[in-house]
Structure 1
Amino acid sequence: MEKTPSKYWILAGTFFTSLSSIIIRFSNAPALAISAYRMLFTCLMLLFPVLYRNKNEFSEISAKDFALCAASGFFLALHYASWISSIQMTTIANSTVLVACSPMFVAILNFFIMKERPSYRMVIGIAMSLAGTFIIAMGSAGGSQNSMMAGNVLAFLGAIFVAVYLVIGGIVRKRLSAGTYVFIVYSVSAVVLFAMCIAGNIPIYPYPAREFVLFFALAFFCSILGHTVYNYLVKYFSSTLISVSTLSEPIFASIMALFFFSEIPTLYTLAGGIIILAGIFYYIVTQNKEKI
């Protein structure tokens, strides 16, 4: 019998994904170019390991599962395009808080698609975490009004797109290995993002070596050690649980923004962060009791 991994690995994945906003802020490249190269480098890092371990699975995949993987990759591309753009237009706190609203949409989608009824413990955990995100948002400031408004909208759209991506992953990962699934999803996402660059006249090349180092860091730390961990664990845990756990990303990102960009967390951030982590801890710890 296959051993179920620890659910606390979800928080490890969240820490690595939280590095995204910091690395992106260091880059001077357009958001679409950052997104496209992040996915390209991720695919290149996965190419040989996945082909070595899962080459037979590619020939056996059904048309339905491939279509679902492609759809997941499409929504992941939209998520990166919108959210990375938001990082360049609003504060790190605003962007990470608003994109962390994805559990609302995951829970809604799972209710209609997977018939996954939210338990009262789940509702309490989500409510606590979302309350924390709103408290942080109230204390976020900086940047021009118009730019921040556009960035906030893009971050919120990013939450919707990543929710669809997570729900599709929860469906397909029941039948496909993590390696096969993520390689198809990331490859489709890379193609879509480069196509968006070409359509939008965004330069693909050249960029300074420094930018390619940042692209590689995004791919390795945030995609391989972050999103790929999510896609591995979504076979064993509800996509709602995973999306709720990602609400801790604003906490990690805000702490790192303090050190790297002197963005001092406000009392709103500190208070909201405590509530978010409390909600996540409550949900994860009590999840097993729901099955009794």
Structure 2
Amino acid sequence: MKRIQNMPSGRPLGLLMAGTGMFLVSSDSLFIRIAQPSSGWTIAFMAGAWSVPVVAIAAWRTYGNQLFYEIRKHLKILCFTGLLASFSTTAFTISVTLTSVSNVVAILAAAPILAAFFARLTIREYTSRRTWKSIAGTAVGVLVIVGGSMSGGGIGGDLLALAGISGYAFNLTIWRRYPDLPRILVVLAAAIFIVIVTSIPAAPSTIDGDAFLATLAMGASFGPLARFLLASATRYAPAAEVSLFTPIETVCASIWAWLFFSEIPTNATIIGAIVIVCAVTYGITGPASEVVPELDPHP
């Protein structure tokens, strides 16, 4: 990939989008839990099936008669990013059903590191020292939360979670590289490919009423809006900074469990959550000279 050009200004807006998007994504852990014992394939398929008509209508209202022109114009990159998004979403959903939640949320801490690596490798975007320090802080916070509850076994689920988060991190770099790529079409492509990829192993006829409503909420509202915000955030903020909010999902997942399942957070969870919030706050604040990524001196 070439180095990014003509990136819009508005870093605070990008960070707000990233934080809001990741907060919405954190609800997935709640809805997946409600939808079980349905399989991860089925949950992902139903969520994607709900997303397609909702996002298609939104895209039509946005572009009108120009919709198919925009699709043809960006077809190749839409197919690539949509397939990658479907893979990462499906892999992550299934991983939750194959390994412990503690293992999965620990793997989330790798997202900012992977995003920084992919951004440097493909679009020559450096990550600021302050962001690297913040990444280290969030990783420490996640380890504090899950350190006492990491389980053995479930290696397949762990690898799926790692593959899923890698796909997400690489997609952030793609979205960062193409600021003019229509974000609503990115969300639509992801939903379509999720349905295609999961259609064969899914068993939608087996879901109950709770799973029906949970996947409806995931697919028709929370999921599409979250993906739109995260994809849009990369127009204004570096990929590494956008992914810096990923460990916030760990904090929010604990809050959802407390509110809806009366699971009182442990002391380790509370301490780790404080560390994560402080680390993210540190990473997105401070003098401009410290938070703006360094540029490659040899583009």
Post-superposition CA distance 1:81-114 (Å, at most 9, x none): 2211222233434323323421111111000111
Look up the SS of the partner of 1:88 in the other structure: helix
- Contact kept in structure 2, 1:100 and 1:159, CA below 8 Å: no
Cα deviation per residue 1:109-134 (whole Å; 9 max; x = unaligned)? 00011101122111111111112122
The offset of 1:52, in angstroms, is 2.2
SS of residue matched to 2:180: coil
* Cα separation, 2, equivalents of 1:150 and 1:49: 37
State the partner residue of 1:162.
168
Mapping for residues 58-69 of structure 1, pairs under 5 Å: 58-61=68-71, 65-69=74-78
Whether the 8 Å CA contact 2:109–2:138 is kept in 1: the answer is: no
Is the contact between residue 25 and residue 226 of structure 2 (CA under 8 Å) also seen in structure 1? yes
Q: CA deviation at 1:209?
A: 3.4
Cα distance in 1 for residues equivalent to 2:52 and 2:109: 25
CA distance in 2: counterparts of 1:287 and 1:204, whole angstroms: 51
Q: Distance in 1 between matches of 2:70 and 2:216?
A: 31
Aligned ranges 1:98-247 → 2 under 5 Å: 98-140=107-149, 145-147=152-154, 149-172=155-178, 174-194=179-199, 198=200, 200=201, 202-247=202-247
- Tell me: CA distance 1:15–1:21, structure 2 relative to 1, closer, same or farther (3 Å): same
Say whether 1:259 aligns with 2:273. no
Residue 95 and residue 263 in structure 1: after superposition, are their counterparts in 2 closer, same or farther (change >3 A)? farther
- Report sequence identity in percent: 22
The 4+ residue runs of structure 1 with deviation greater than 4 A are 60-63
The TM-score, its normalising length taken from structure 1, stands at 0.86
Shift of 1:180: 2.5
Determine whether 1:90 maps to 2:99. Answer: yes
CA-to-aligned-CA distance 1:163-196 (integer Å, 9 cap, x gap): 1222222223x122222232223323322232xx
Aligned pairs, how many? Answer: 281
Q: Using a 3 Å threshold, how does the CA distance of structure 1 residues 15 and 60 change in structure 2: closer, same or farther?
A: closer
Contact map agreement 2:175 2:181 (CA 8 A) in 1: no
1:242 and 1:182 map into 2 onto residues whose CA distance is 17
**Contact conserved, 1:139 with 1:269, CA < 8 A, in 2?**
no
After TM superposition, give the deviation of residue 244 of structure 1 in Å.
0.6
Instruction: Kindly state the Cα deviation for residue 260 of structure 1 after the two structures are TM-superposed.
Output: 3.0
Counterpart AA for 1:163: A
* 1:139 and 1:266 in contact (8 A); partners too: no
Q: C-alpha distance in 2, partners of 1:85/1:185? A: 17
In the alignment, the residues of structure 1 paired with residue 9 and residue 112 of structure 2 have an alpha-carbon distance, to the nearest angstrom, of 26
**What is the Cα-based RMSD across aligned positions, in Å?**
2.4
Q: Assess, with a 3 A threshold, how the Cα gap between structure 1 residues 221 and 61 changes in structure 2: closer, same or farther.
A: closer
1:45, distance to aligned residue in structure 2 (A): 0.9
Deviation, 1:291, is 4.1
Between the aligned partners of 1:285 and 1:131, the Cα distance in structure 2 is: 19
| Secondary structure of the structure 1 residue equivalent to 2:186 | helix
1:16 corresponds to which residue? Answer: 24
Shift of residue 265 of structure 1?
2.7
* 1:62 Cα offset (Å): 5.8
Amino acid at match of 1:166: L
* CA apart distance, 1:207: 3.0
Is contact 1:98–1:156 with CA below 8 Å preserved after alignment? yes
Displacement after TM superposition at 1:259 (Å) = 3.3
Out of 25, 33, 56, the position equivalent to 1:25 is 33
Matched AA of 2:153: N
Do the aligned residues in 2 keep the contact of 1:19 with 1:221 (CA within 8 Å)? no
